[in-house]
Structure 1
Amino acid sequence: MKISRSLRMSLIFGLILLNVGCDQVSKSVARNHIDARERISVIGEYVVLMKTENKGAFLGFLSSMENPILKTIFLILLPIAVLFIILRMIIITTDLDKYMIFGLCCIIGGGIGNLYDRILYRSVTDFMHIDLGGIFKTGIFNMADVSVMLGTGLLILSFIKRKEVSLS
């Protein structure tokens, strides 16, 4: 089914804004209602809310970098450039499937959410932790991270579906 360019653009920007909005609202709640060192059990010790400020990237990567210019390049300027390239690709490439479009919008929205924090607060608020014993354990993360991971999963699904179509 073909949709108009304006409807397509509205859907793309709407999905991105939905991701950014969910991320920023959840971080605001965490900043305002979770105290430092507080642990709020959501599902036993399996899902816990605890607030931390991450001055780096994913799982604190680059947080100990001393050079402020390099830190700005790697944590702000480079991500902005990558997000613009991805957005441009979504807008220009009209034959992307729905999984690819939705996945890329989630990645862009999550990226913008964390960039917003880095620029405004000089750190990213993380507040969720999952520990399913020996089965699965995360670091402390936020909804922007969930958006990026969901988007990545949808990209993988899109590639698998394309591969299946090309094999048949």
Structure 2
Amino acid sequence: MKKYSLAGIIAAVIIILDQVTKIAVRNNLELWSSKTLIPDYFNLVYVVNKGAAFGFLNRGDISWQRTFFIVVTIISLGAITMLLKSTNDKDFFQISGLGFILGGAIGNLIDRILYGEVTDFLDIYVGTYHWPAFNVADIAICLGALAMIISIYRNKSNAPDTV
């Protein structure tokens, strides 16, 4: 399978899963509500985030973050495309990683364009210590980053010594 097809299929699956799950949350939960699924460990929540990861710039007193994150995401999509173009056709981890990152970025971009904020709904915690809520797009971006790290490690260990 060609690298563009593989990355595109992965991205499309992520976008669909991300948007379907966000629609389900928006249609079935009240904003800022929570439903306990595994007591002391996991809730399904409906929260929104105008900022980025971990609530960076998620503030109501600034109005430019929507435009800022849309522009940054579009620039990132260009960078991902350029990286994919230069990727070896046989580097499954890098191609897959870029597909996951691409799908996650587009999933959250859709939210920013349509709603001005990103819907998050997965709340993992232990006791009173909560990880910031996240979504399928965020998971995909993290998995993509992990695949990229694996690719870098594999390519480094396969490179000839040049000392």
TM-score, normalization by structure 2: 0.87
Is residue 166 from structure 1 mapped to residue 162 from structure 2 by the alignment? no
Q: Which residue does the alignment assign to 2:20?
A: 25
Match of 1:63 among 54, 58, 63: 58
Q: Which residue does the alignment assign to 1:114?
A: 108
1:95 offset after TM fit, Å? 4.3
Residues in 2 aligned to 1:39 and 1:72: alpha-carbon distance in whole angstroms: 25
Deviations 1:140-164 (A, max 9, x none): 1111100001111111111122222
1:133 offset after TM fit, Å? 5.0
**3-state SS of the aligned residue for 1:56?**
coil
**3-state SS of the aligned residue for 1:63?**
coil
1:88 offset after TM fit, Å? 2.9
Letter in 2 for 1:41: T
Q: Which residue does the alignment assign to 2:125?
A: 131
**Identity %, equivalent residues:** 35
CA 133–154 in structure 1, closer or farther in 2 if over 3 Å, else same? farther
Q: Which residue does the alignment assign to 1:54?
A: 49
Residues in 1 aligned to 2:87 and 2:160: alpha-carbon distance in whole angstroms: 23
CA contact (8 A) 2:93 2:151 kept: yes
1:36 offset after TM fit, Å? 2.8
Structure 2: runs of 5+ lacking an equivalent: none
Residues in 2 aligned to 1:72 and 1:143: alpha-carbon distance in whole angstroms: 20
Residues in 1 aligned to 2:149 and 2:86: alpha-carbon distance in whole angstroms: 21
1:96 offset after TM fit, Å? 5.7
Q: Which residue does the alignment assign to 1:13?
A: 8
Root-mean-square deviation (Å): 2.2
TM-score, normalization by structure 1: 0.84
CA 35–72 in structure 1, closer or farther in 2 if over 3 Å, else same? closer
1:117 offset after TM fit, Å? 0.2
Q: Which residue does the alignment assign to 2:82?
A: 88
1:43 offset after TM fit, Å? 2.0
Is residue 147 from structure 1 mapped to residue 140 from structure 2 by the alignment? yes
